[in-house]
Amino acid sequence: MSEMLNVALPKGRLGEKVYSMFEKAGFDCPSIRENNRKLIFENEKSSVRYFWVKPSDVAIYVERGAADLGVAGKDILLEYEPDVYELLDLNIGKCRMAVAAPSDFRDDPSRTLKVATKFSKIAGDFYSSTGRDIDIIHLNGSIEIAPILGLSDVIVDIVETGTTLKENNLEVFETIFPISARLIANKSSFKFKNALCEKVLRELSAQTGRENV
Ligand code: PRP
């Protein structure tokens, strides 16, 4: 059997976009488009095996070598700092990490700021760089509810269209950094499956409209 490239795709709309890019790059796997609950798909002819994983888990699969390549948001890479190669900015999945709060929120520097977030490291690093004393409340989702219920003063979260904030009467106070999807590689796979990895990198670079540097 020829060597297979194992690719972890983030489940959801972004993952579908990413698969289309890989397909165009010559790593097609028609069965993946069948609408079922299967999580692993392979096409020996294209030397590729895909698996759908939770977006926040992609980096773990790649770091540990269960996947050779994967696609993860810059937010996940900064939060978990996985030991992987970041090969390419795919220029998709664009959004931003931001501080948001109810529109009448005024920061009182004499008080500890209560910050609800899924991204404790990012929030911690951001506020320590500004010298602000904070109390982090780690949540796993629906972060926007926290300031409404008085659980926190502000949130640090991902903003894409801004709809979730708007519908919960919150607004962005500060953008922390822009986010986009990145192609990542397991360090030893990049060495031992280099020809396949380089082919993906080359083809995807061409699709993002600029060469990787
Ligand atoms: C993300 C994020 C915001 C929302 C932002 O949530 O945490 O809630 O998307 O998107 P918008 O600006 O386009 O409205 P996700 O869908 O991952 O759900 P969760 O955080 O509740 O798990």
Q: Which residues line ligand 1 (CB under 6 A)?
A: 141-144, 157-164
CA angle 88, 56, 87 (to 5 degrees): 10
- Tell me the best of 96, 163, 164, 175 to mutate to test the pocket of ligand 1, counting ligand atoms within 8 Å of each CB and taking the most: 164
Quote the CA–CA distance of 70 and 74 in Å, as a whole number: 12
Residue 171 neighbours by CB under 8 Å, 6+ apart: 100, 101, 102, 103, 165
* Atom of ligand 1 at shortest range from CA of 157: 7
Which residue in this structure is represented by tokens 């607004």? Answer: 171
* Atom of ligand 1 at shortest range from CA of 164: 14
Question: How do beta strands 154-159 and 113-117 pair?
Answer: parallel
- Measured in Å, residue 5 CA sits from the centre of ligand 1 at 31
* Atom of ligand 1 at shortest range from CA of 167: 14
Nearest CA owner, ligand 1 atom 3 = 158
Model pLDDT for residues 149-176, shown as the tens digit of each residue: 999 999 999 999 999 999 999 999 999 9
* pLDDT for 113: 98
**CB burial string 79-108: b at 16+ within 10 A, e below:** bbebebbebbbbeebebbbbbbbeeeeeee
- Measured in Å, residue 41 CA sits from the centre of ligand 1 at 28
pTM: 0.93
- Tell me the best of 159, 165, 168 to mutate to test the pocket of ligand 1, counting ligand atoms within 8 Å of each CB and taking the most: 159
| Tokens describing residue 67 | 């996947």
- Measured in Å, residue 1 CA sits from the centre of ligand 1 at 42
Which residue in this structure is represented by tokens 């409340």? Answer: 137
* pLDDT for 37: 86
Quote the CA–CA distance of 48 and 41 in Å, as a whole number: 8
Q: How many residues does the chain have?
A: 213
Contact 119, 75 (CB under 8 A): yes
CA angle 211, 203, 39 (to 5 degrees): 130
- Measured in Å, residue 212 CA sits from the centre of ligand 1 at 30
* pLDDT for 59: 98
* pLDDT for 190: 98
Question: How do beta strands 113-117 and 69-73 pair?
Answer: unpaired
Contact 103, 171 (CB under 8 A): yes
* pLDDT for 210: 59
What is the residue-level pLDDT of the chain in tens, covering all 213 positions? Answer: 578 999 999 999 999 999 999 999 999 999 998 877 889 999 999 999 999 999 999 999 999 999 999 999 999 999 999 999 999 999 999 999 999 999 999 999 999 999 999 999 999 999 999 999 999 999 999 999 999 999 999 999 999 999 999 999 999 999 999 999 999 999 999 999 999 999 999 999 999 975 544
Residue 123's closest CA among 176, 174, 165, 82? 176
- Measured in Å, residue 97 CA sits from the centre of ligand 1 at 11
